Amino acid sequence: MIMIRVSFHNPAYREMHVTTQRIASTLLTAALTLGSAHPALAQERQLNLYSSRHYETDEALYANFTRHTGVRINRIEAGEDPLIERIRNEGARSPADVLITVDAGRLWRAEELGFFQPVKSALLDARIPANLRHPQGLWFGFSTRARVIYADKARVAPGAVSRYEDLADPRWKGKVCARSGGHVYNLSLLAGMIARSGEQSAEAWARGVVANFARSPKGGDTDQIAAVASGECELALANTYYYARLARSAKPQDRAIAAKAGLIYPNQAPGDRGTHVNISGAGVLKHAPNRDTAIRFLEYLASDEAQRYFADGNNEWPAVATVKVANPVFAALGEFRQDTQAVAAYGRHQPAAQRIFDRAGWK
């Protein structure tokens, strides 16, 4: 077991008092217990979950909620857009209790359509940091991932790249790979830059990166790491858990890719903003027929057990700072300081980010 030390570099986490942790633990135990004091909860024996997460390891996550509570989970899995369209078409007749998806930008899209209802939970407020949840409790982040830079170890000297801004430096002309600017991972990254520095600065960066492309944007995050390892480019952007999958793979060719691509946590210098992080998160839907059970499910996702499934199963960091996990890749990834701006900003600035990418030619 190792400590997720990255979380303790966030000053807000260091201030968390032990008493708060104990209170949260007590609340969590109560929330997961079917007691006579909550007859309404005891009568609700099912949860209708709409999920755009496509990770096999989530099976154990859901099975353990059922084991703890006796609540059966009826799950609909699909891409984010089909799920949103389904919820829209179902309207007030929707059987969905909870929507769980990846990226704060996608949660914002559902939020803008009025899909969520606010949740008041002392447990969730105590366990989930404020910057990883909606300010009015419409959704909560339950795991985090960082969007980082990968460099060809053979061609990029240590320290030559240390900030996202370096990707726009003309010295890297013809050496940068990226996926589409229309993908939500890149939209959220740019939205974070807009929130920090404004649209003008963000557009200058996007144009600089486009000028440095080694090829037109294509593929997913794993493809960008593989492009660095193959020599197609020297630098690329991708989320950390894709790299961790390669490093943990049973296939020698995957591990060879991870060995050639060095991972860089950007913007770590004193006074700099830290590395961009995003979330997987969930919210209770407006017309949830099993509202109390839905809230209890969100509280379960904040439990130590569920947080370990996110980390050990899909190589995502727990949102709860105090959780210890056994994933051996985290030790290899090392410590880093994360950008602590509210992830809710990623959605608000997403339309502007898309306009900037379009103008810059980041297709």
What pLDDT was estimated at residue 44? 55
What pLDDT was estimated at residue 49? 97
Cα four-point dihedral sign 85, 90, 94, 95: negative
What pLDDT was estimated at residue 324? 86
What pLDDT was estimated at residue 11? 41
Secondary-structure class of domain 17-144+278-327 per CATH? alpha beta
Length, in residues, of the chain? 363
Q: What angle do CA 104, 139, 127 make, to 5 degrees?
A: 105
Whether the Cβ atoms of residue 323 and residue 304 lie closer than 8 Å to each other: yes
pLDDT in tens, the chain (363 residues): 333 333 334 444 334 333 444 444 444 444 444 333 344 444 458 999 999 987 777 888 899 999 999 999 999 999 999 999 999 999 999 999 999 999 999 999 999 999 999 999 999 999 999 999 999 999 999 999 999 999 999 999 999 999 999 999 999 999 999 999 999 999 999 999 999 999 999 999 999 999 999 999 999 999 999 999 999 999 999 999 999 999 999 999 999 999 999 999 999 999 999 999 999 999 999 999 999 999 999 999 999 999 998 888 888 899 998 998 888 888 878 889 999 999 999 999 999 999 999 999 999
Residue-range domain boundaries for the chain: 17-144+278-327, 145-275+348-360
**For residue 228, which of 171, 164, 185, 177 has the smallest C-alpha distance?**
177
The pTM of the full predicted model, rounded to 2 decimals, is 0.87
Beta strands in 5-59 (DSSP E): 46-51
Q: What is the CATH number of domain 145-275+348-360?
A: 3.40.190.10
Beta strands in the chain (DSSP E): 2-3, 46-51, 72-77, 98-102, 140-152, 176-177, 235-239, 261-264, 277-284, 317-318, 324-325
